Structure 1
Amino acid sequence: MRAVPRGSTTEEQMMTTTESPRTDGALAGLGRFCFRRRRLVLLAWVVGVIAVAFVGFGYGAAPDNDFSGGDSQSAKAQKLMAQHFPQEQGDRLTLAIRTEKGIDDPAARQKIEETIADLAGSPVTGPVASPYQDDKLVTEDRRIARTTIPLSDKEVEKSEVKPLVDLVKDASDDSVTLALGGYMAEKAETPPQGPAESVGILAAAVILFIAFGSLVAMGLPLATALLAILAGLALIKLVGHLVPAPDFTLAFGAMIGLGVGIDYALFIVTRYKDALRDGDDPEGATVKAITTAGHAVLFAGTTVVIALMGLVVMGQRLMTGVAVATSIAVLITMIAAVTLLPALLGFTGHKINSVRLPRRASRRKQEAGEASEARPTFAERWAGVVQRRPLIAALLAGASLLVLAVPMLSMRLSQPDASVQPHDRSSYISYEILSDGFGPGYGAPLVFVTEVDSKDADLRSVVQAVSGTEGIAYVTPPRTSEDGQAGTFTAFPTTGYQDEATANLVHELRDDVLPGTPGGEQVLVGGPNASTIDVADDAASRLPLMIAVVIALSMVLLIALVRSVTIALQAAVMNLLSIGAAYGVVVAVVQWGWFGPALGFPTAMPVTTWVPMMMFPVLFGLSMDYQVFLISRVREEYEQSGDTRVAVARGLARTAKVITAAAAIMIAVFTTSLLGHDLAVKQGGLGMAVAVLIDATIVRMVFVPAVMELCGKANWWMPGRRAPKTASESPAEVEEGIRV
């Protein structure tokens, strides 16, 4: 802060110390440079974004969706299978057939054989076995049949599989239903996110126009965020060569980057408009905005990045990729906010308020600085209501959050499969047909594999033990690899992929059945379903550690900024409660099915494994952002008045509008993910929208003022130093207090 001029009154000194930004620091210099060299800065951004987009989208890495790996039993089983049964690896499709008159009906047989021939003739498929040549592929009543379609060894794109899905759909009629299932078929028929991002941008534009009342002011955050997101997504594609990430990363990165990008620009533009209204010229207003709101943006963005990097603690290769990728998106939006935005402000100048929204006369006077005795705002009056009964308000807010969090206690983690897809999809129809004909466990096979000494190895005792386990429908005969070093067989459970009973069965086989069977100690249980269970178990076990790391790092940053251990602890507890409530809402909607179909979830399903892992760091970082913007202003007011009650009321009043607008933009961007088709991304968007809504209402409007009123001067406790100096103290004490 600048030194206090000698000869000033105490009040003048206080105003100079707390409100005048430094004009000689690095941020001030950066803001001034970008303002004065605005054409150069804008040109550099446009050219740079075009170049990065060309390289990134043209030569970026393909997504990696293999969540297996590590030291899990399923990963070890997969490695053994790839080593000794390479011919059985690779993606496969499954053709499901249902006929009213049976597959031997001449008309049905002709259609089925023609379809199989067309599938076998595709350049991306291998040999296709006919169900007419293997009775194991047909049910006893011969009304349902299946066959497996191997995909070629080369990497097959989902765009190459989509024609096969369409071919099978077109071949179906009233007498014969044909459907294509399998992972690649499911991906091929899942439409892109579609208009979700566009709707989010439109909603953000409307909110910004209402908040600023100016078309020009509305356009600046949007332009800044969109350029930053384009560059960020291209960089995510490029970084994928070094740190692989799954396919949902781009959608998630766009959602996070768009939200924070618009919010960060909103904070800076708001401070710029305030400075203009206070009489600064455009350059001075830009420097003031960058040194105040820009400083807060850098801190807020850093908090989000640190929180995201907490995902590395999960120890999962792809989640590390997600952490790096989404952090890149946030970093680019931070850089754009303090470089590109000052340049754009240089072009607008005083025209920031052009193309205005009609306002009431009283509002226009207030914005012009003509209102001397303005009435208290709603936020200030509301804070007064809460502060009169702080204990009751805090208890009600806490109880509400705990009630919302209750469903979280029953959270189950899994990965979406064909059984939870929209019912008009070919993959769901295939699942339904195969479940009816071969049991619900057909789509959840358990692959058993072990090393053996020779081709004559006897696995019959293990097979008998597994087949005699409750919950197993049937077991295939054991086979030995051509090199005589590994044996394998497959068991099909009586329950489906998403059923909790299937997960319990896997644990029973591993913990009790196999260890208690001669020769079963070395047998590994793998397969897609076991892999999903292992990933979910690993995520559940590591989630508490990630939460602890994120909280600890974020608290250290917040203490460094606000110089208060009490406020940092308050923020951590409140953020935990709001995120827990968001988890509870996600479980109630997704897993319990409450309002699920209305929100785009076809059926009740477990929560996708990566959703709670991603939600926590993102939401904790965003909550800290709002906490910083609110508490920083409360602290300024406390330093002037020395009265916590007055400081909280005024701080809430000064920040309510901008935080409400920022939260509304976040909610709009996250909610529009429900318009997309990726079930996992929709779960994440729903959870984050709910969390931001809770944070902007229950937490900021009730919990914060109530708890701060209860804590009083203890809010500013910091070991080794006194509470912040107030305007009632000597000028020397004031300056020393702020400098600390």
Structure 2
Amino acid sequence: MATFLYRLGRGAFRRRRLVALAWVALLFAAIFGAATAPTPSSGSFSIPGTEAQRAFDLLEQRFPGMAADGATARIVIKAPAGAKVTDPAAKTEVEKIVTGLKEGAGAGQIATVSDPYQEQAVSQDGSTAYISTKYKVSGMELSDKTRDALKESGKDARAAGLTVEIGGDALMAAPESGPGEVVGILVAAIVLVITFGSLMAAGLPLLTALIGVGIGVSSIAALANALDLGTTTSTLAMMIGLAVGIDYGLFIVSRYRAELAEGHERDEAAGRAAGTAGSAVVFAGLTVVIALVGLAVVNIPMLSKMGFAAAGTVVIAVLVALTLVPAMLGFAGRRVLPAGKKSKLFGKGKTLAAGAEPKPNGGTRWARFVLRRPVLVLLTGVIALGAIAIPASKLEMGLPDDGAQPVSTSQRKAYDLLSDGFGPGFNGPLMVVVDGDQKLADSTVERIKGLDGVAAVTPPIPNEAKDASIVNVIPKDRPSSVETEDLVHEIRAGSGKHVLVSGQTAMNIDFSQKMNDALLPYLSLVVGLAFLLLMLVFRSILVPLKAALGFLLSVVAALGAVVAVFQWGWLGSVFGVEQTGPIMSMMPIFMVGVVFGLAMDYEVFLVTRMREAYVHGERPGQAVVTGFQYSARVVVAAAVIMIAVFSGFIGSSEQMVKMIGFGLAIAVFFDAFVVRMAIVPAVLALLGHKAWWLPRWLDRILPNVDVEGESLRKHLAGSSPEGPDKDRELVSA
């Protein structure tokens, strides 16, 4: 592979105009496709294999049109203290709202508007009423005119002294990202300038990463409607694609500069950078892709699509690093080097002396410190991460509803008004679908009425064929409570196969349960995969085992931090968390997949240099120092860039994006700076020669993936007129 990538990088450098033109053309084609594609929907939500999904499917069969995936809204009206919404003046204002929605702007997208006085949607004390509105299209497909008409519907009623708040997904729009992403990119630019000491070298990874992300995100937007992709899919793909794109470009540019320092010609340096650092980029990218595609084993279509979309963006980032980055290096010329080193390093024949050693740097000093105190460093890192991981034992998972919105929003105010007027469970009614005749429906109603957690049960609503009915159940407690979850299980436990519980609340409960059930199997799959892949790379058993255990430690610590901030509210104001609640159900499993891939990035780029030094005769401790001497600065820069990019998404208005941005940022921090930079060298120092042990029989059957580019080194040494001395000082990124 290294030899192929060498030829690919060298060819891209020499044919840079053609390569750059091809990528720019691809970018414009993707942007054009996104601009001309139909407006995407919010993405369908299904949970195959669950009772809630079976009930929903049955509902579509027996009650055509009732399960249509259109947006909904609830306009909640509350009378002033001492008054009622049934008073003539208040009733007139409420009827104006109903008429305005039916006949005003945006009425063409409305399917139904209920009259609260005819539908008995008035609280017992007469203080509160609500208007239910059903739309023909999803929230993302609503026109601005329709959404504005909804927001303005209660304007006159408010002027008359009534309180009017609006909830439901009809108000949902595309997530607002804020300036955070721009700040993240600026931080990445500053880190790159500090790392390279050259604006040109710093700008290359940024430019190429933006081109790759532009192609990936635009392609997702172009295909969103056809593939039924959710609204957050492109945001998550951009988050991951931007981070890995900058990092992969950083590794290639860094290795290219090292090859120039060896005295190689520019095209040769580009080829060698692609063959050595590029091999590690391919492997690192492969681990990220496998982890993201592996989300499909959970069998949640929405999660699978998110994983595939993000994986596609990572594939583009790898291809950009292997082709566009070498091509752009050809355009950059000598400007990729600091001004004071250009003439020195570009002079012909200027190579490092065979016995010369680079001056000690920060990585060297840190590695020697760890080697002197390995037990202290190991215990400090493990205890610190273990303490941070403690909140993860109290992890509660669920899906957010309007009750998780900030208290300042109209959705949250409408949620609270309904809870006060009709009871906490009114915001999460259960829909019981009875697949049978009226007798079965009546007996089901009587049984449910006798359950403790039930506030109200509506009479059965039969379909036209009289072979199925719908029963709405109002729980006593709020939708996300343990009591409501117990009620769902109790209804199901006493029902046969012809009585199914569905509705948004039941769907959320089933989704969270499926995520819980899938977390440990997926974690086992990811850790097992990490062990096998790293065993191929490092030809060792203990090094992959150490890497997998370190990954587990960093993930659990990151989950602990997420629970502390988003569930318990610790430092919530610092991160813009206005409302605490259960952790989003897909968050843990998604974070496991992404962090696995990113953690393996740093493991590969850091430890491959240690193995190369060890194989070439250095003592185990000295090999650790050598690895840090050549790789630590680049790995630190890459980690800071990833943290900056992920942190930029904490400012998003979308709770899921905010939570994932924080979780990934803190996970990268723990994994890069505590696990890879501290625990890894400490463990390797304690293991000594045993770290690199592999049984001979296993060594014979394992394929050689050659991430360090050893085959390329031998190939170039054999074909170079200067002989092997010319290539003695090849340094892995």
Instruction: Give me the TM-score of the superposition, normalised by structure 1.
Output: 0.87
Q: Distance in 2 between matches of 1:539 and 1:530?
A: 14
Comparing 493-502 with 170-179, which one deviates more in the overlay? 170-179
Which residue of 1 is the match for residue 444 of structure 2?
Answer: 462
Q: Distance in 2 between matches of 1:207 and 1:102?
A: 62
SS at match of 2:111: coil
Q: CA 1:369/1:212 → structure 2, altered by over 3 Å: closer, same or farther?
A: farther
Which residue of 1 is the match for residue 27 of structure 2?
Answer: 49
Task: Tell me the CA shift for residue 464 of structure 1.
Answer: 2.5
- The correspondence for 1:162, drawn from 147, 167, 176, is 147
SS at match of 1:525: strand
Amino acid at match of 2:498: Q
Determine if the alignment matches structure 1 residue 625 to structure 2 residue 601. yes
Q: CA 1:204/1:93 → structure 2, altered by over 3 Å: closer, same or farther?
A: same
Aligned 8 A contact 2:46 2:302 in 1: no
SS at match of 2:247: helix
Q: Deviations over 1:39-98 (max 9, x none)?
A: 111111111211122124422683553332412100111112222223533332211111
- Where structure 2 has 5 or more consecutive residues not aligned to the other structure, the ranges are 342-349, 705-713, 719-727, 729-733
Q: Distance in 2 between matches of 1:355 and 1:125?
A: 65
Determine if the alignment matches structure 1 residue 452 to structure 2 residue 413. no
* Superposition map of 1:397-408 within 5 A: 397-408=381-392
Aligned 8 A contact 2:418 2:426 in 1: yes
Task: Tell me the CA shift for residue 498 of structure 1.
Answer: 2.1
Which residue of 1 is the match for residue 574 of structure 2?
Answer: 598
Determine if the alignment matches structure 1 residue 507 to structure 2 residue 489. yes
Aligned 8 A contact 1:422 1:602 in 2: yes
* Superposition map of 1:269-284 within 5 A: 269-284=253-268
Task: Tell me the CA shift for residue 626 of structure 1.
Answer: 0.2
Amino acid at match of 1:464: E
Task: Tell me the CA shift for residue 195 of structure 1.
Answer: 3.0
Task: Tell me the CA shift for residue 544 of structure 1.
Answer: 1.5
- The correspondence for 1:319, drawn from 291, 295, 303, is 303
Q: Distance in 2 between matches of 1:206 and 1:443?
A: 48
Task: Tell me the CA shift for residue 390 of structure 1.
Answer: 2.1
Amino acid at match of 1:99: A
- The correspondence for 2:467, drawn from 457, 460, 485, is 485
Task: Tell me the CA shift for residue 141 of structure 1.
Answer: 2.7
Which residue of 2 is the match for residue 193 of structure 1?
Answer: 177
Determine if the alignment matches structure 1 residue 98 to structure 2 residue 82. no
How many residue pairs get aligned? The number is 686
Q: Distance in 1 between matches of 2:381 and 2:137?
A: 57
Comparing 476-485 with 388-397, which one deviates more in the overlay? 388-397
Q: CA 1:168/1:206 → structure 2, altered by over 3 Å: closer, same or farther?
A: farther
Q: Distance in 1 between matches of 2:469 and 2:165?
A: 32
* Superposition map of 1:337-736 within 5 A: 337-353=321-337, 376-453=360-437, 456-511=438-493, 514-515=494-495, 520=496, 522-720=498-696
Aligned 8 A contact 1:597 1:603 in 2: no
Aligned 8 A contact 1:497 1:529 in 2: yes
Task: Tell me the CA shift for residue 133 of structure 1.
Answer: 3.6
Q: Distance in 2 between matches of 1:420 and 1:129?
A: 26
* Superposition map of 1:7-406 within 5 A: 25-59=3-37, 62-63=40-41, 65-90=43-68, 91=70, 92-100=72-80, 101-105=83-87, 107-121=89-103, 122-134=107-119, 136-152=120-136, 157-160=141-144, 161-168=146-153, 170-171=155-156, 172-173=158-159, 175-185=161-171, 187-188=172-173, 191-238=175-222, 240=224, 243-353=227-337, 376-406=360-390
Q: Deviations over 1:95-127 (max 9, x none)?
A: 111120322455544433322221122221134
Over the matched positions of the two proteins, sequence identity in percent amounts to 37
RMSD: 2.8
Task: Tell me the CA shift for residue 284 of structure 1.
Answer: 1.9
SS at match of 1:131: coil
Q: CA 1:248/1:529 → structure 2, altered by over 3 Å: closer, same or farther?
A: same
Task: Tell me the CA shift for residue 293 of structure 1.
Answer: 0.9
Q: CA 1:286/1:177 → structure 2, altered by over 3 Å: closer, same or farther?
A: same
Q: Distance in 2 between matches of 1:607 and 1:55?
A: 35
Q: Distance in 1 between matches of 2:227 and 2:123?
A: 46
Q: CA 1:459/1:397 → structure 2, altered by over 3 Å: closer, same or farther?
A: same
Task: Tell me the CA shift for residue 181 of structure 1.
Answer: 1.4
Q: Distance in 2 between matches of 1:356 and 1:331?
A: 36
Aligned 8 A contact 1:67 1:535 in 2: no
Q: Deviations over 1:338-385 (max 9, x none)?
A: 11111100011212136799xxxxxxxxx9989988763333223223
Q: CA 1:277/1:107 → structure 2, altered by over 3 Å: closer, same or farther?
A: farther
Aligned 8 A contact 2:175 2:232 in 1: no
Task: Tell me the CA shift for residue 252 of structure 1.
Answer: 0.3
Aligned 8 A contact 2:176 2:653 in 1: yes
Comparing 552-561 with 75-84, which one deviates more in the overlay? 552-561
Q: CA 1:390/1:304 → structure 2, altered by over 3 Å: closer, same or farther?
A: same
Instruction: Give me the TM-score of the superposition, normalised by structure 2.
Output: 0.88
Which residue of 2 is the match for residue 16 of structure 1?
Answer: none
Task: Tell me the CA shift for residue 698 of structure 1.
Answer: 1.2
Q: CA 1:266/1:153 → structure 2, altered by over 3 Å: closer, same or farther?
A: closer
Q: Distance in 1 between matches of 2:38 and 2:336?
A: 38
Amino acid at match of 2:102: A
Aligned 8 A contact 1:137 1:145 in 2: yes
Q: Distance in 2 between matches of 1:597 and 1:355?
A: 44
